[in-house]
Chain A
Amino acid sequence: MNQGTLRLSADLSALELSLLAALVLLSWILLALEVRRRGGRGLPVLLSGVLGVGLLSLAVARPVRVREGGVERGARVVALVDRSERLLLPGDTEESRRALGKRAVEALRERFRGQRLEVWSFGDGALVPERDGAPPKGAAPNGTTPNGASPSSAAPLSAASDLIGALGEAAQLPGERPAAVVVLSDGRLSTPGPLEGVPSSGGGSSSEAATVLGRHPTGVPLHTVSLASRIPRDRSIRAVRTTGSAVAHQAFPLTVEAGCEPTAWCHDAEIVVRELLEQSAPRELARGRVEFARGVGVVELSVTVERAGSRVLEVAMETADGDEVPQNDRKLVPIEVRRDRTRILHVAGRPTYDVRALRLFLKADESIDLVTFFILRTPNSRSDAVEGELSLIPFPVDELFTEHLASFDAIILQDIDARAYGLAPYFPALSDYVTKGGGLILVGGPGAYAGGGYAHSPLAEVLPVEVPASPDAVVKKSFEPRYTAAGLAAPMLAGLRDALGTRLPWLEGANRVGPARPGAFVLWEHPGVEVTGAGRSGPMPLLSLGESGDGRSIALGIDGSHLLRFGELGARASGRGHTALWEGLLGWLMRDPRYEAAQLRGPSPCFAGHPFELTVTPLPDMADEVTISLERLGDAEPLSAEQAAPRRAQGARSGRPVVVSMPGLPTGAYAARARVGEAPAARWVFVCEEGGGSWADSRPDPDRLRKLAELSHGQAVDAAHVDDLPLPAAERVLAFSTSRPLLPDWAWATLATVAIAAHFWLRRAGGYA
């Protein structure tokens, strides 16, 4: 497309040209007035004057002929495609909303073929460019979509649909302002929320549009393409809320909101809340019935979690016949349960200085709610008094280890003979207590371990060391315990090492125990006694840590930790060694982050079937290698060998976060353990769900899309009618421009001079002044 035009010299500004035009016009007017007043031979004077002034002005303006060439190009149009996991839900037909969205994008590309269409996907983070025909990028879950569809986008899927954020980011994209924005979604957006206060027709005011659409540029129409309008038959748990914080041993309210569509199909459902545990069956916490009214039902449940820390609740309802999205009938809820006070049961078989020191430590800590039972009399004791003269009370072994067991955060069994004092029958309950998240410390003495009937017992199964039956239950040999490599790296012993270095008190003996169990950590060992068992051998453990199911246990095979308070070594650090030891041990037992070797963090949420990354932040000055292993909580199928295989990464020594790539996991709750070098492993609990929270409400919301379009004077269509979207006007783009003077400057000046000279000759000839 070429065209030529006449223009004035480009070196004159508009003001200068305006002044010139005004002068010319004024000259002509004055000349006309003069000729009219004087008469005579006025016409030649007038004509020559007009010509002279005109030529003079052209000599100043120097007109040029401009020739330009260019093309017309399509307007810039930005398309924003929802990449929420929710789009994997069924649409109006068998295909998923995402598959329909992919086709709608193709239709959009066809519709805007002459336009400059940019396609971006939006979720809960930055916009991601969508490439035409790009294959899915590792985001396809393995058969996780309700209808078998795969994500069609190269971008990773998202938990949310933040349209407001996406519009704001689109406005900042480089390039000229778009002529239109097209949003492709099912309408169940995270932002903006339901537009209940916005008029449903007639368009919105600019202030309403600004309020709802945020930084979306005013005047740019927002068209919407609805990817679904049919509400699937679905009964789901839409939300689980707690008010306030969850405190161990205290009931807290749990509000479960369920949804059901279509309403005619809905009927009441029973909600069951269970706590998912490691290596142990889930524990039912509450049960209630939800009744639906207009598709929504809410039930308030009271839940008591006995163990503090990161816990996972499963809120589930039975799947109704014909439910198209059964995956959202169950929701996994990670919660942080804090501890008001640490409730500890301290049971000792006989009072000793070791018992005294531990009790003084426990009593001095205001955050500990201590329940103590000491056996003060043996069957052979000759108290020389009647019962009424004694302050003794019966050892409530049955009450403690049945009724009240779960209420304790930790149990310390110190030098108590389980056979003599009737503890052995409660070993299964104690073992179950540990696997369900309780903490246990077995402190040595002649009545502990093999000497107290613990060998090969159910309780021994949850200890970090084997307890073999042995005729010599005690090693009577003077020695100084020795730190292991794990002990030297263990954060829970850092305080003790700070106080005393690597010196430990000289002891006169120890309980005989077997090797550490697989996965356990030995922090102190006997320098002169070797043990063997179950194919393992090595120095006899003296202080060991282990995890069993959801709980932790500590085996201390000596009865002389009080020598860290008294004795020359204890006194050297003013008794701080004893406090430091027990603070560390109890802190680790209670999962205090200060005593973990590393902190773990992962994606939130984690989508089932999607590979993800775990971030491990080790304590400074730890070893270099990080090893991550996974364990599935609850009674679900165990992980495959490939999924459960430990993952390793380097770079922990710097103290900076180390990222470890993990494989996609099935829906469920998981415990990840990170071991940094030789230090005891740190644990983190997380959940992976299909669709994350985005599947909780499967209903599309085309009405919201329509309102958004109307607010910005755009158009709302469904995926089948993308061709109805209006095409923005094309833009013309200049390709070349040439200019050539009509006459040379000297010619204009000569013509003007001649014309003015002629004008003056005619004036004189006509009697003009």
Chain B
Amino acid sequence: MSRPTRRDWLLGVSAWGAASAAGLRASPAAAFAEQGAFHARLLGVPGREVPEDARTAASRWAFELVERTSAPGRTLAEVVAVDGPELLQEPFVVWAGSEDPGQLGRTAQRRLAEYLSLGGLLVVDDRAPGNGAFRRGVQREMQRVWPDGSAVQLPSSHVLYKSYYLLERPYGRVEGPPSISAISKGRFAQVLFLEHDLLGALARQGDGWAHEVTPGGAAQRRMAVRFAVNIAMYVLCSDYKDDQVHAPFVMRRRMRG
């Protein structure tokens, strides 16, 4: 994986500055009908690089969503600074990494807390779940950002597993644990801790996939894509599939499956 994060960082910040100067634009690239489109933004932390393949994965994430569902998506990868105002522009961001992200500054902590209080959703994708350093580091920082929130395991009945596809467990580049933990506010899980390197399963290189998926190969990647779509649908529809009207359908299909 290459490390062009400095460039990403500068691009993101400069794009935000231009947008702010022009008014209060949601995104310089967004046109009508795109301002509300799903956009897998990547969180940039000072001193930590955003892996190159994460940009292609974020782009692929939106692409797969658009291909498979009615939801609009923006495939332009964008890195937003954790301590910048652009974080508050949209309700979804992915914090991916493979090593301890280090301590967040006061501004970054405040901005992240503000993002969550607005109802934003943060996916923490551990790119190296084997050592868990990134996940532990993020959990440590989240304790400082959101002292009242603690991560709990989401049950298999959680709406994340039925927001579009009916899934049994989380998927990614690696098999990982059979469940994920999350910090919730009320009934909404707002910080999802993935230990499956989801971006790794979605990352592209040229016309092909950037990484092998183990141990399940193509079938596991297919499920990882579905899981990514489910997360996107959860972002866009929240707990829609938990509504009473869906319950009998979902139950019947699960029983058949």
Contacts and interface: CB of A to CB of B under 8 A. Distances in A.
Interface stretch (B68-76, B100-108, B135-143, B209-217): B68-76
Interface in A468-513: 474-476, 478, 480, 503, 505-510
B243 A372 contact: yes
Contact of B32 (A351, A371, A508, A568): A508
Contacts of A569: 24
A568 B85 contact: yes
Contact of A355 (B118, B120, B236): B236
Contacts of A383: 68-69, 165
A330 B184 CA distance: 59
Contact of B118 (A351, A363, A385, A575): A575
A389 interface: yes
A360 B24 contact: no
A568 B68 contact: no
Contacts of A506: 22-26
Interface stretch (B7-15, B196-204, B248-256): B248-256
Contacts of A565: 91, 118-119
A478 B25 contact: yes
B216 to A, nearest CB: 16
Nearest to B87: A571
B90 A355 contact: no
A399 B160 CA distance: 28
A357 B89 CA distance: 13
A351 B236 contact: yes
B32 A567 contact: no
Contacts of B36: 352-356, 445, 559-560, 562
A587 to B, nearest CB: 21
A353 B163 CA distance: 16
A388 interface: yes
Nearest to A384: B68
Nearest to B239: A363
Given A352-B37, A390-B165, A571 B85 contact: yes
Given A352-B36, A562-B36, A508 B71 contact: no
Interface string A340-379: 0000000001111111110110010000001111111110
Interface in A437-459: 445-446
A568 B238 contact: no
Q: For this complex, into which size category does the number of interface residues on chain B fall?
A: 35 or more
A574 B240 CA distance: 24
B164 A559 contact: no
A604 interface: no
B175 interface: no
B180 to A, nearest CB: 18
B177 to A, nearest CB: 22
B222 interface: yes
At the interface, is chain A mostly helix, strand, loop or mixed? loop
Contact of A563 (B22, B24, B69, B188): B24
B86 to A, nearest CB: 9
B100 to A, nearest CB: 29
B201 to A, nearest CB: 14
B30 A508 contact: yes
Contact of A476 (B32, B37, B67): B32
A350 B250 contact: no
Interface string A506-527: 1111100000000000000000
Interface in B86-132: 88-91, 114, 117-120
A393 interface: yes
A551 to B, nearest CB: 25
B241 interface: yes
A508 B85 CA distance: 20
A480 B24 CA distance: 9
B87 to A, nearest CB: 9
B55 interface: no
A360 B238 contact: yes
A393 to B, nearest CB: 4
Interface residues of A, number: 59
B257 interface: yes
A391 to B, nearest CB: 4
Contacts of B25: 478, 506, 508
Among B25, B30, B37, B67, max chain A CB count under 10 A is at: B25
A113 interface: no
A558 to B, nearest CB: 8
Contacts of A574: 114, 117-118
Nearest to B65: A351
A42 interface: no
Nearest to B39: A353
Contacts of B70: 349-351, 375-378, 381
B20 interface: yes
B32 A559 contact: yes
Contact of B166 (A350, A389, A476, A575): A389
Nearest to B244: A371
Contacts of A475: 32
A566 interface: yes
B21 to A, nearest CB: 11
B226 interface: yes
Contact of B222 (A371, A374, A381, A384): A384
A383 B68 CA distance: 4
Contacts of A464: none
Interface string B140-184: 000000000000000000000011111000000000000000000
A570 interface: yes
B64 to A, nearest CB: 9
A669 to B, nearest CB: 37
A359 B85 contact: no
B255 to A, nearest CB: 10
B222 to A, nearest CB: 7
Interface string A660-691: 00000000000000000000000000000000
Nearest to A505: B24
A359 B88 contact: no
Given A476-B31, A575-B118, 20 more contacts: A351-B38, A352-B37, A353-B38, A359-B237, A360-B119, A363-B239, A381-B70, A382-B68, A390-B165, A391-B166, A391-B249, A474-B32, A509-B31, A509-B32, A562-B91, A563-B35, A566-B88, A566-B89, A566-B118, A566-B120
13 contacts: A350-B70, A351-B69, A355-B36, A357-B91, A359-B238, A360-B188, A372-B245, A382-B68, A474-B33, A562-B91, A568-B89, A574-B114, A574-B118
Which 8 pairs between the two chains have the least Cβ-Cβ distance?
A509-B32, A352-B36, A351-B236, A506-B23, A353-B36, A354-B36, A571-B88, A506-B24
Interface of A: 349-357, 359-360, 363, 370-378, 381-385, 388-393, 445-446, 474-476, 478, 480, 503, 505-510, 559-560, 562-563, 565-571, 574-575
Interface of B: 20, 22-26, 30-38, 67-72, 85, 88-91, 114, 117-120, 162-166, 188, 222, 225-226, 233, 235-241, 243, 245-246, 249-250, 253, 256-257
